[in-house]
Amino acid sequence: MIAGELYRPGDAELVTARARSQALQRDYNATTVAETDNRKAILDQWLGRYGSGCALRSPFYTDYGSNIYLGDDVFFNYGCVLLDVCPIRVGDMTQIGPMVQILTADHPRDAATRDAGLEFGRAITIGRNVWIGGGAIILPGISIGDDAVIGAGAVVTRDVPAGITVAGNPARPLVAKPATD
């Protein structure tokens, strides 16, 4: 699954791992911002890596949590969903608005493969100092370069190079208008 190969989501080991994640997210989402020690203890058990200075506003939702790797000083606002059947890597100082969805989970386009109950995923990498506006959706397999900006509500269907601002559905680069005298 983590390698992006076809897998069965009903596999007993995966069901157990998701149940563990759900218990940890329930515990985390019941805390307040002031409960820093308790939150850190939960995140240390839940996420693959949680850098120093990170702030994750609850509620915060994952499939597994263990496939999420956050750099230092990463911020997630309220209501974010990270479907981490494959690794999600977020660079230092990245800020993510409320209700953002980061989705590595995918489904076969072939009906027979879907009918067989198989799924797959593709990893997502988000660079350093990226800003993702509220309600944006990052689709499977996307890479977002350092210093990029993703507009609120954008649906990111293609890689975003470093330093580029994208917006819309599907997300497209914004072109700066020439200055007028």
- What is the domain partition of the chain in residue ranges? 12-173
Known catalytic residue at 90:
no
Percent of the chain, pLDDT > 70? 97
Whether the per-residue pLDDT at 179 is higher than 90: the answer is no
CATH assignment of 12-173?
2.160.10.10
What pLDDT is stored for residue 9 in this prediction?
Answer: 95
Cα–Cα dist 125/140, whole Å: 10
Tell me if 67 sits within 8 A of 102, measured CB to CB.
no
Is the model's pLDDT at 155 over the cut of 90?
Answer: yes
Q: Name the catalytic one among 8, 26, 107, 114.
A: 107
Distance CA 16, CA 130 (A): 33
Q: What is the pTM of this model?
A: 0.94
List Cα–Cα distances, 122 to 68, 86, 131, 177, in angstroms: 13, 6, 21, 35
pLDDT in tens, 58-88: 999 999 999 999 999 999 999 999 999 999 9
Summarize the chain as % helix, strand, coil (round to 5). 20, 25, 55
Q: Is the pLDDT at 177 greater than 80, yes or no?
A: no
